[in-house]
Structure 1
Amino acid sequence: MSLYFDNEKLFDAEGHLTDAGLYALKDGTLDDLGALEAAEHLSFCDYCLLRYTALIEAAPEAMKQPMRDLIPQVQSLMRLRSFRIMTNRYVSAAAAVVLGFVLWGAVSTFGLPDVLTAQQPTTPHERFGTKFSTAVNGFYKSLDDTFKSFTLTAENGLDQIRAQSIGGSTAKGE
């Protein structure tokens, strides 16, 4: 004996869901194909939808309540998905950085083709770590030079403002 409702008895001669078919849908005893056919029929047949809604509303209040609280499970899934999304973003960014360094190292190690560069290296290729260290040190040196230049410009500007204010106050006093 099958646990599922017979799909041949799902619809009557007029094409509407039978009462037994509605009960099978409510009880969950339809197989996947029967449930799909019944759901599709309810999406466009107002008569059967009203009958199905009345059937559900007539159910005892205990049957309308969920068997268990789904909020903790849904919240857990939401936290997991948000963690995966954030992790994927950071992993993608890290992979892009690593790929950039690898390509940079490959180009600097093997050099560009002669078509792209007119100069030939005169020294043997350095190790990647040495080149990386040199590049980082160069970056910090240029950053330090920029800050020194900014500080010097700001101090010169302040000196000019002081000189104008001192010159302006002596001119007023005369």
Structure 2
Amino acid sequence: MSLYFDNEKLFDAEGHLTDEGLYALKDGTLDDLGALEAAEHLSFCDYCLLRYTAMIEAAPDCMKQPMRDLIPQVQNLMRLRSFRIMTNRYVSAAAAVVLGFVMWGAVSTFGLSDVSALTAQQPTAPHERFGTKFSTAVNGFYKSLDDTFKNFTLTAESGLEQMRTKPIGGSTAKGE
């Protein structure tokens, strides 16, 4: 004997869901095809939808309530995720600080021990500001880009000029 409701008894002669079919839908004893057919029918048949909602409203209150409260479980999950996010942020920041101190220690340990030796090797001209260096680099990039486009245009124009002067047959006037 099958646990599922017989799909042949799902609809009556007029094309509406039978009472047994509605109960099977509510109880979950329809197979996948029957549940799909019933759901599709309920999406466009107001008469059967009213009967189905009346059947659900007539159910005892204990069946209308969820089986368990999900709020504590969701709150615990939210706490765990927020803890993970905050932990990841602090661990990343701490790793950056430690790396900075390690690099600082390495430079101070293995770097120049005498600051006067550093100043003796470099010229005493004032240092360029970062903004000036950045502006110079950007201007150089735009100048090289402009030069590239000019060279491309000149090459294309010379190629077009060669195509205009060369005859269509491919032979030149000198060889004839």
1: CA distance between counterparts of 2:8 and 2:165? 101
Q: Contact 1:25 / 1:38 at 8 angstroms: preserved in 2? A: yes
SS of the residue corresponding to residue 172 of structure 1 reads coil
TM-superposed CA distance for 1:69, in Å, is 1.4
TM-superposed CA distance for 1:71, in Å, is 2.5
TM-superposed CA distance for 1:70, in Å, is 2.4
Count of residue correspondences: 174
Q: Summarize the Cα distance change of 1:16–1:161 in structure 2 as closer, same or farther, 3 Å threshold.
A: closer
Deviating more after overlay: 60-69 vs 122-131: 122-131
Deviating more after overlay: 143-152 vs 92-101: 143-152
TM-superposed CA distance for 1:22, in Å, is 0.3
Deviating more after overlay: 134-143 vs 29-38: 134-143
TM-superposed CA distance for 1:171, in Å, is 89
SS of the residue corresponding to residue 168 of structure 1 reads coil
2: CA distance between counterparts of 1:117 and 1:12? 100
Deviating more after overlay: 40-49 vs 150-159: 150-159
2: CA distance between counterparts of 1:31 and 1:114? 85
Q: Deviations over 1:38-79 (max 9, x none)?
A: 111111110000000000111111111111112334455667
Q: Summarize the Cα distance change of 1:173–1:92 in structure 2 as closer, same or farther, 3 Å threshold.
A: farther
Q: TM-score, normalised by structure 1?
A: 0.44
Q: Contact 2:166 / 2:172 at 8 angstroms: preserved in 1? A: no
Q: Contact 1:109 / 1:126 at 8 angstroms: preserved in 2? A: no
Q: Deviations over 1:9-53 (max 9, x none)?
A: 111111110000000011111112111111111111100000000
Q: Deviations over 1:124-170 (max 9, x none)?
A: 99999999999999999999999999999999999999999999999
Q: Deviations over 1:79-105 (max 9, x none)?
A: 788899999999999999999999999
2: CA distance between counterparts of 1:31 and 1:79? 39
Q: Contact 1:10 / 1:21 at 8 angstroms: preserved in 2? A: yes
Deviating more after overlay: 70-79 vs 15-24: 70-79
Q: Summarize the Cα distance change of 1:124–1:87 in structure 2 as closer, same or farther, 3 Å threshold.
A: farther
State the identity %: 91
Q: Summarize the Cα distance change of 1:122–1:26 in structure 2 as closer, same or farther, 3 Å threshold.
A: farther
2: CA distance between counterparts of 1:15 and 1:120? 96
Unmatched segments (≥5 aa) in structure 2: none
Q: TM-score, normalised by structure 2?
A: 0.44
SS of the residue corresponding to residue 79 of structure 2 reads helix
Unmatched segments (≥5 aa) in structure 1: none
Q: Contact 1:109 / 1:125 at 8 angstroms: preserved in 2? A: no
Q: In angstroms, what is the RMSD of aligned CA positions?
A: 17.0
1:144 is aligned, of 139, 143, 146, to 146
Q: Contact 1:105 / 1:128 at 8 angstroms: preserved in 2? A: no
SS of the residue corresponding to residue 118 of structure 1 reads helix
